[in-house]
Amino acid sequence: MYNLLKGKRGIIFGALDENSIAWKTAERVHEEGGTFVLTNAPVAMRMGQINELAEKTGSQIIPADATSEEDLQNLVEKSMEILGGKIDFVLHSIGMSINVRKGKHYTDQNYAWTQKGTDVSAMSFHKVMQTLYKADAMNEWGSIVALTYMAAQRVFPDYNDMADNKAYLESVARSFGYFFGRDKKVRVNTISQSPTPTTAGSGVKGFDGFIAYADKMSPLGNATALDCANYTVSMFSDLTKRVTLQNLFHDGGFSNMGVSDEVMSAFVAAEEK
């Protein structure tokens, strides 16, 4: 432990259970000296074990629907009261697609579900930042991070409308990040993580195949949830205070690969059978 976040205060969205990246990040932030409020939608809180995480990290929980401006205003106000001052870091680890959950193909979407998924997965990030911005709730050189996936740039057919949501999320980070940086000296970035076996990710058809393929393609192998938590801690720390408007690939090198020897060997072997 390096005390990288000693004296820093934050909000962590999306911790569900011990498999989630937000959960691992909360643990690591706590170990590095940071204090924070945990938040998730009431329905998600009933599915997970967030109370256990709060007890372990000495944190308080404020339920909030990230699509509700009223809930977010309450969250920000109460967080500053509980933590005793402005916010230094925020993790947005939220994503949901009803089309994926219900097995609707990308070419046969239920658009009401699509709109709901976009609101939860991407528009919520704008709402979170707008709430923080208007309340002047962030300290200078604070850091806001959202989690994304490379399907925002490349085709992963079964990732469905979540790919569009992630592309929108990354655009919001750049666009709002400009104003947050210019006006408040706050940095905004997205981390494009390897496919990670979380409760949310497991709902995507063929997700185990995503994970195995990426691991074979990546020279360093897939980044784990704990690896991502460590990277996020570095983004919250003062060591990265001039990094903003970036989509940061944290994927073992996958994003720069065309093909790997391991994948090619497996393909050739399958063709020769």
**Residues of each annotated binding site:** 14, 20-21, 94, 166
Residue 188 pairs in a beta bridge with: 144
Dump pLDDT digits (tens) for 80-132: 999 999 999 999 999 999 999 999 999 999 999 999 999 999 999 999 999 99
Residue pLDDT, tens place only, 137-147:
999 999 999 99
Task: Give the tokens for residue 116.
Answer: 């709901």
Tell which residue, 181, 86, 180, 196, has the closest CA to residue 147.
196
SS3 143: strand
Beta strands in the chain (DSSP E): 9-13, 35-39, 60-61, 87-92, 138-148, 187-193, 247-250
HSE (side-chain half, CA atoms, 13 Å) at 86: 15
Contact 100, 113 (CB under 8 A): no
pLDDT in tens, 73-86: 999 999 999 999 99
- Tens-place pLDDT, residues 28-68: 999 999 999 999 998 878 777 999 999 999 999 999 999 99
State the Cα–Cα distance between residues 66 and 112, nearest whole angstrom.
18
**63 close to 41: Cβ distance less than 8 angstroms:** yes
**Bridge partners of residue 147, in order along the sequence:** 191
pLDDT at 103 (0 to 100) = 94
Q: Where are the domains of the chain?
A: 9-272
Which pLDDT does position 210 carry in this prediction? 84
219-267 pLDDT, tens digit each:
999 999 999 999 999 999 999 999 999 999 999 999 999 999 999 998 8
pLDDT score of 31: 98
* Superfamily of the domain at 9-272: NAD(P)-binding Rossmann-like Domain (3.40.50.720)
pLDDT at 203: 64
Catalytic residues: 149, 159
Which residue reads 């997205």 in tokens?
A: 190
Assign 271 a pLDDT band (cuts: 50, 70, 90). Answer: confident
Report residue 270's pLDDT band, with 50, 70 and 90 as the boundaries.
Answer: confident
Per-residue pLDDT of 166-214, as tens digits, reads 999 999 999 999 999 999 999 999 999 999 987 766 667 777 888 999 9
Record the tokens describing residue 151, joined without a space: 């399907």
| Separation between Cα atoms, residue 165 and residue 169, nearest integer Å | 6
Q: How confident is the model at residue 15 (pLDDT cuts 50, 70, 90)?
A: very high
Residues 245/188, Cβ–Cβ less than 8 Å: yes
Q: Report the C-alpha gap between 134 and 258 in whole angstroms.
A: 43
Tell if the pTM clears 0.85, that is, is over it: yes
Known binding-site positions for NAD(+): 14, 20-21, 94, 166
DSSP 197-256: --TTGGGSTTHHHHHHHHHHH-TT-PPPHHHHHHHHHHHHSGGGTT--S-EEEESTTGGG
Least Cα distance to 54 among 64, 40, 66, 68 occurs for 40
